[in-house]
Amino acid sequence: MPAQNDEDEQKSTSVTTVPLLEPRDGVPKVVTTARGVADAAAMLAQGHGPLAVDAERASGYRYSGRAYLVQLRRDGAGTVLLDPIPTRDDLAPLTEVINDLEWVLHSADQDLPGLAELGLRPAKLYDTELAGRLAGFPRVGLAAIVAETLGLELRKGHGAADWSTRPLPDSWLNYAALDVEPLVELRDAMARELERQNKTEWAAQEFEHIRLAGPPAPKPDRWRRTSKIHAIKDRRRLAIVRELWTTRDEIAARRDIAPGRILPDSAIIAAAEANPTSVEQLQELPVFGGPRQRRSSRAWFNAIERARALPEDRLPPLTPPLTGPPPAGRWSRHHPEEAARLALARGELTALSEEVAVPVENLISPELVRRLCWDWDVSDGADVEEYIDGRFAEGGARPWQRALTVPRLAKALTAEN
């Protein structure tokens, strides 16, 4: 589980807490063999109730989002620490036991894709982070919400570590085991709070949506997210950025190393601005002259040469083509009606958010609201609520979200018209 500003959360949490320093049953040995997987599955099968689940990745160190450690805990069974790298092909006994259970995760959308790659998929899901949002908690990182609800202090520190490291240090394993230690108890506390607020069904719909969502679709033109790319004002040099980024991405994927550790964004921008015409000129640039990069000079220079050889009609545009409405900040000048409509919608949703103590972004997707206000096409006499509900349903809004937001937005936007 990635770090979530836990140190800041701990400083800002005023609840008196009891430090949770080590698992109550001790830190189990890491499962690394097929026999160990079978034994772990048998142990978990003897437990009862939901299964606490967490996964540690190596974001910032590795290209892939794979899990490098999986933590499992069930009442009556204890905790399992699983190394999925050597056991990847031996997980069938485990899936037979745990895939039929309710899983409890914190920020489930971060861990589910990597777990699904291993064949691990829950039949039912409870996300304690999302439960905290729906319940109106101001801080929903694991450390803060455990402190607030259970009075326990989780001391963090290894969430952003390189979990592909082997062997894993004992202190990291202690941290990993503690992350699942309070999850089921936290789930029960959050369930009581949501029941008190009459939000149990809202949460159930959100959890099922996350469970079935799958991994996010790749974003188009990811190379345009290169840091400082806005400094490039020439299409040819922009093509150099694209070719260098693509080459770096291919190398990073092949070697399973985070792209920034292959070549920093700053070096890509510097090369595009300099537009070197020889390997020697490229090696004179910062980073490219270092011993590690000099070995790859030909690959980087070939990327630059490919960009230089592109015909004009294949050069990338300076600004990405719009696939939807323009950024809302531009509406007021050229699209005042749409801007006014969006302002009304946002104001209504802000008021609703305060009334029900749910963040605006959890009430309804801001992108759905933006597209609604931009594409607004309601003829006289049409049922405005039906129109909005249809647009939101097409966009994947859940029934509870539509029931709350559609009447309010219909009233506000009808008044505007």
Q: What per-residue confidence (pLDDT) applies to 7? A: 43
Of all residues in the chain, the percent with pLDDT exceeding 90 is: 85
Higher pLDDT, 271 or 155: 271
Q: Is the pTM of this model over 0.85?
A: yes
Q: What per-residue confidence (pLDDT) applies to 86? A: 98
d(CA 215, CA 180): 23
Which tens digit of pLDDT belongs to each residue from 325-354?
Answer: 888 988 988 899 999 999 999 999 999 999
As a three-state string, the secondary structure of 282-298 is: HHCCCCCCCHHHHCCHH
SS3 154: strand
Domains 222-309 and 328-414 share a fold: yes
d(CA 344, CA 409): 8
DSSP state of 2: -
Strand partners, 62: 59
Backbone angles phi, psi at 368, to 5 degrees: -65, -40
Check if CATH label 3.30.420.10 holds for domain 18-213.
yes
CATH domain 328-414 topology: DNA polymerase; domain 1 (1.10.150)
Bridge-based pairing of strands 124-127 and 102-105 is parallel
Is the pLDDT confidence value at 417 over 70? no
Average pLDDT, the chain: 93
Strands (DSSP E) contained in 192-320 are none
CATH domain 222-309 topology: DNA polymerase; domain 1 (1.10.150)
SS3 127: strand
**pLDDT band at 226; cut points 50, 70, 90:** very high
Nearest to 9 by CA among 143, 161, 186: 143
SS3 366: helix
Q: What per-residue confidence (pLDDT) applies to 1? A: 54
Bridge-based pairing of strands 78-82 and 124-127 is unpaired
**Domain parsing of the chain, residue ranges:** 18-213, 222-309, 328-414
d(CA 374, CA 369): 9
Is the pLDDT confidence value at 214 over 70? yes
CB-CB neighbours of 25 under 10 Å: 12
Q: What per-residue confidence (pLDDT) applies to 3? A: 45
